Amino acid sequence: MEVYPKEHLASEKVGRLLAVARGEERADLVLKNARVTDLAGGRLWEADLAIAEGRIAGIGRYSGYREEDLRGAVVCPAFIDGHVHVESSMVSLPDYARAVVPRGTLGVVTDLHEIANVLGMEGIRYMLEVSRGLPLELHVMAPSCVPATPMETSGAVLGVEELEKLRQEGSVIGLGEVMNYPGVVAGEPEVLAKIRTYRGLPVDGHAPGLSGEELNAYVAAGILSDHECVTADEAEEKLARGMYVYVREGSTARNLEALLPTVLSGSPDRFLLVSDDVNPEDLSTRGHLDFLVRRAVELGIEPLRALRMVTVNPARRFGLPDTGELVPGYRADLVVLEDLKGMRVLQVYRAGEKVAQEGENLWVAPRVVRQAPASVHIAWDRIPGIALRAEGRKVRVIGVVPDQIVTESLVEDARVVEGWAVQDPARDLLKICVFERHRGTGNVGIGFVRGFGLREGAMASTVAHDSHNLVVVGASDEEMLFAARVVERMGGGQVVVRGHDILAELPLQVAGLMSTLPLEKVREGVKRLKEAARALGCDLNDPMMALAFMALPVIPSLKITDRGLFDVGSFRHVPVFLSDPGSRADDLAR
């Protein structure tokens, strides 16, 4: 028996449900004196809400074996996050659930893009398995872009065949954000075939800044949502083209305020409020969708309209049955709010069982039997080292832009010592390496970076979008190699070292992305890493986050993958050294 039923009610139980609805039998539980949200009618009804067989039996006047007097508190449907990468929380799924369930979230639509890039189908199945028995329902979108680009080595490839298989297994509800929007617009057969495989199911978009004819083409391919709008005009155009607009308000990208005019004027059924990526700090201190809804209301969105964006709208958009509204026969997944202003979550019910009260979880996660598969496989014997023989006087340097995931493409004089191009911390010229960690290829990309500001020591991370190889930045090769070894030994994670001292570390044994520690411990770990980096001279707001995006070759300008420096503008790998002016070699490489 499933602890939290996903299926339709067994026929023998429907009879009792109807008898309770008719008022002829007592309910299992009645929430008395509630103000019941009516999201379609746009009002509150003062009524009791009766629950039987884990379902909503009726709204009206009822009595039950158990009764809970809500004293005028508001009952609304449990929250569903329509677009979130749960891996960004850096905690395992049970701990993620512990964090979000008391906030009212009982469903997340997640495309597991991160873990799939590391562990492929195995990663998706692992997450589904771990989700069993949790009060948080995992609605998985098949990751459409694994690997994100062919310019790097990922842990897995999900082609049309694998995506077809996932659909047939019934383990996914749609196709996750199709980030290869240039490919879609251009009509590349591979990506169109993936979309075709998911016809009839939701296919999510990712089309930053796409407009006009290109947007028409993207939509014509069958993609009817987007969560990348950053201006009201952009949202207005996408809405007009038939797209659901997922308003993103995460830890990094926050678009709610900018999109407000469109949200207020557009049809209330077409907007979702999603978190996309939330880091442990925000998850712990701000909360989850409760925070987003509160913020929406503060910005002037009518409370029931705001609630729609995290309840009925995602439920309908993704075809989630029997959920998202307070409807007799639907699963009794409920949130009790103090009022519609503060949106403070008092109680949370899953299938009629109270799972949280005043921020405290009332459920116990099933013991997780299955461990995540090992995910760090580095073939040291195939790696000669990370020293760089000087092949010119000028080097390309990745220029970190604080608080942005874009970088600049700089050119600097190399510091050459005995024929080797080496770090020059005095000029903030550090070395950055990406070790391929999935397949033991021995690939390592080596380059220079400015902006981390480490005067000494090194930082390493297996969180490195999107292929999540092992990325290391440091003031010396020795410290960088040490940091890499430490992370390897942890089975994935993040570390800051100086000499041979580990200043701070956060093991992320689940695919090198998520910890097995509780959220609070992870949050502390993240904080220690930050402080350690700061002590070494790094004044970035989030050094590890910055590091994690150095390897993302779809975001301008200069990035690095396990195959070397990558110039996003020309969309090709480039050598570290610029040849002398007029040299043919460099021209060719361009």
Choice between 50 and 481, CB closer to a second copy: 50
User: Alpha-carbon distance 376 to 487, whole Å?
Assistant: 9
Q: At what angle do helices 113-131 and 160-169 cross, to 10 degrees?
A: 20
What gap in Å lies between CA 533 and CA 459, rounded to an integer?
Answer: 8
Nearest distance in Å: CB 220, a second copy: 4
Residues 435 and 471: their CA atoms lie apart, in Å, by: 6
To the nearest whole angstrom, how small is the minimum distance from the Cβ of residue 249 to a second copy? 21
Taking the complex as a whole, the smallest distance from the CB of residue 324 to a second copy amounts, in Å, to 10
Q: In 390-457, which ranges are E strands?
A: 394-400, 407-413, 415-417, 420-422, 430-435, 444-450
CA atoms within 13 A on the CB side of 311: 26
C-beta of 171 vs 557, nearer to a second copy: 171
Q: Which residues pair with residue 35 across a beta bridge?
A: 46, 74
3-state secondary structure 283-352: HHHCCCHHHHHHHHHHCCCCHHHHHHCCCHHHHHHCCCCCCCCCCCCCECCEEEECCCCCCCEEEEEECC
**Nearest distance from residue 332's CB to a second copy, in Å?**
11
State the DSSP H helix or E strand holding residue 543, giving kind and residue range, or none if neither. Answer: helix 543-548
Which residue is it, tokens 């077409």?
A: 270
For a second copy, the closer CB: 270 or 530:
270
Specify the residue, 20 or 372, whose C-beta has the smaller distance to a second copy: 20
For the four alpha carbons of 219, 220, 221 and 223, in that order, the dihedral sign comes to: positive
Least distance CB 304 / a second copy (angstroms): 9
Torsion of CA 253, 259, 263, 269, to 10 degrees: -40
Answer whether 204's CB lies under 8 Å from 225's CB.
Answer: yes
If the CB atoms of residues 103 and 270 are measured against a second copy, the closer one turns out to be 270
Q: 560 and 566 in contact (C-beta within 8 Å)?
A: yes
CB of 60 to a second copy, least distance (A): 6
Smallest separation (angstroms) from a second copy to the CB of 503: 52
Token pair of 51, please? 């629950």
Judged by DSSP in three states, 483 sits in helix
Which residue shows structure tokens 């309910």? Answer: 27
Q: Which is nearer to a second copy, 20 or 463 (CB)?
A: 20
For residues 239 and 323, give the distance between their C-alpha atoms in angstroms, rounded to a whole number.
Answer: 25
Nearer to a second copy, 219 or 463 (CB): 219
Closest CB 50 distance from a second copy, rounded Å? 8
Minimal distance in Å, beta carbon 272 to a second copy?
A: 13
In order, the DSSP letters of 163-212 are: HHHHHHHT--SEEEEE--HHHHHHT-HHHHHHHHHTTTS-EEE--TT--H
Q: Which is nearer to a second copy, 172 or 433 (CB)?
A: 172
Strand order in the sheet with 137-142: 79-81, 105-110, 137-142, 174-178, 203-205
Min dist CB 148 to a second copy, Å, is 22
Nearer to a second copy, 311 or 476 (CB): 311
Tokens read off for 398: 């990745």
Proportion of the chain in helix, strand, coil states, percent, rounded to 5 = 30, 30, 40
Indicate the residue among 100 and 320 with the shorter CB distance to a second copy. Answer: 320
Query: How is the beta sheet containing 564-567 ordered, strand by strand?
Result: 558-561, 564-567, 572-573
In whole angstroms, the minimum distance from the beta carbon of 185 to a second copy comes to 7
Least distance (Å) from a second copy to the CB of residue 221? 6
Nearest-angstrom CA–CA distance, 80 and 440: 39
Measuring CA to CA, which residue among 117, 84, 542, 104 is closest to residue 289?
A: 104
Residue 328 C-beta: closest distance to a second copy, Å = 4
Smaller CB separation from a second copy, 199 or 500:
199
Q: In angstroms, give the least distance from the CB of 139 to a second copy.
A: 16
Question: Where along the sequence are the contacts to a second copy (CB under 8 A)?
Answer: 8, 11, 14-15, 17-19, 21-23, 38-43, 45, 55-60, 185-187, 189, 192-193, 196, 199-200, 212-214, 216-217, 219-222, 224, 236, 239-242, 262, 265-270, 308, 316, 321, 325-330
Residues 379-382: contacts with CB under 8 Å, at least 24 apart: 379/440, 379/441, 379/442, 381/442, 382/440, 382/441, 382/442
Strand bridging mode 244-248 / 225-226: parallel
DSSP code at position 429: B
